[in-house]
Amino acid sequence: MDKLEKVVIVGGGTAGWMAAAALAKTFGPTINVELIESDAIGTVGVGEATIPPIRNFNLLLELDEADFLRAVNGTFKLGIEFENWGELGDRYFHPFAPHGIDTWAAQFHHYWLRARQAGESAALDDFSMETCMARANRFGNKSGRAANYAYHFDATGYARLLRGLAEKMGVVRSEGKVIDVEQHSESGFIESVRLESGRRITGELFIDCSGFRALLIEQTLGTGWEDWSHWLRSDRALAVQTESTRPPVPYTRSTARSCGWQWKIPLQHRVGNGLVYCSDFMDEDRAARTLMDNLEGRPITDPRPIRFKTGRRRQQWTKNCVSLGLSSGFLEPLESTSIHLIQNSIIRLIKMFPRAGIEQANIDQFNREVESEIEYIRDFIILHYHVNQRTDSPYWTECREMDIPDSLRHKIDLFSRSGVIFRENNELFSEVSWTAVMIGQGLLPASYHPVVDRVDDANLAAMMARVKADIAHVVSDGPSHDTYIQQLLDARRSNQQPAASA
């Protein structure tokens, strides 16, 4: 292949239309993009919670925030509240920004650990602006101190929005189901796909967004699968939507149950709910009862079962095929990373786009980066299960006692002894995230950083009080979450800015 002129995307949904829109926006008419999807094939479409980098993707597409929120019935997300993950009755918050104030040598939790020894009773959560805003159901403030945030949104609406953008930029959508894939007799590269109608669609680069079927990357090219189910035991989910019973809060809720966990994601017009569980410990009938008995609001859909395997393709890019989304692998949505992994792979592909021809060096680099990224996220997800003190079910005991990856064991051991966490190779989750989960689930370090002892007791107490007071001022200064959303939407209609900035 001397020159890449056409990209064929097999599958729509969030992954397909994100790829189509980003490629069209970046390259314009210099390449042709055709997306194939079938209305007869459904999408999983339960991924309604995101993390802050989604804002960068929307900026790439020049999506106005108010227009975006209106199209997807979106709300803001300041983090995730976890319930029952340490012990039954425990509650902590994973925010999107650091706690308190740091020094270059030591992060805030080291100061908090020493203050706690001196009698400080406030939890680490109380020193997080995002956490306090979320629990007060506030968003935005007049002081100008910006929160770090992401979104909750209707994934189907997001795909619809991106489809509209992509088609305006020249992407061609073809309706139909792929029934055959033709490969080059010598190289094995994909040359074309054939639809039920008999139409043959050719291209030089193929993007597999066919979901769990992995039609191109696995069924055709047989890249292989790396199974992580011995670490992440859940293999089933049930999803259901309910009516809203109260104004939407600016955070996702994750509640650990006897076998797995339940999500709650508030949108403007409804609430997304679901239960992730392990079929070795719970059958579908019991899972449905567990979910339905713990809902707020009247169900507006029937529970939808989803089966999955946790793991990844051994290669996300092989020959002239790149896999995105569920076709490339699966990690349960405990930390809302599914859309982020799609986004990063799209950006990575764009940065090393093989316009002059596909080279193995590009493929190898792409696969190395994807492998590293998803394995760091995998370890962070395993952490939630492994660091628990629950004794109420065999499931949680097994999670606590299981062998874990050496990379995760090192992080836990280092933090347990010294409170130190290092972010490696630009991994997604920073020291803030690891600290929030480990301390939130009851893992307190045996010691803190020695630089903290340079602060005497009186100044340390004053610092802790000042942080709490500053946060309280910011929280009291802002509007409620739903008020802010309405202000933003109204301001967009009149081409004005909302009264309080995020």
Once rounded to an integer, what is the mean pLDDT over residues 192-215?
97
Q: How many residues does the chain have?
A: 502
Q: Decide: 267 and 247 in contact? Cβ < 8 Å.
A: no
pLDDT of residue 496: 58
- Of 20, 18, 44, the closest CA to residue 33 belongs to 20
Query: β-strand 32-37 against 6-10: which pairing, if any?
Result: parallel
The secondary element (H helix, E strand) that includes residue 265 is strand 260-266
In angstroms, how far apart are the furthest CA atoms of the chain?
79
> What is the dihedral sign for C-alpha 176, 16, 324, 79?
negative
Element (H, E) at 56: helix 54-60
* Structural domains present in the chain: 6-48+154-227+313-358 (3.50.50.60), 99-149+379-477 (no CATH)
| pLDDT in the model for residue 44 | 57
The catalytic site residues sit at: 77
Q: What percent of the chain has pLDDT above 90?
A: 91
pTM summary value? 0.95
Q: How far apart are CA 144 and CA 490, in angstroms?
A: 20
| pLDDT for the residue 42 | 63
Residues in CB range of 127: below 8 A, 6 or more apart? 99, 100, 108, 112, 464, 467, 468, 471
Alpha-carbon Rg of the chain, whole angstroms?
A: 24
More confident residue, 45 or 258: 258
Q: Which pLDDT score is estimated for 46?
A: 58
Task: Tell me the mean pLDDT in the region 323-328.
Answer: 97
| Token pair listed for 446 | 């045996």
CB 140 within 8 A of CB 502: yes
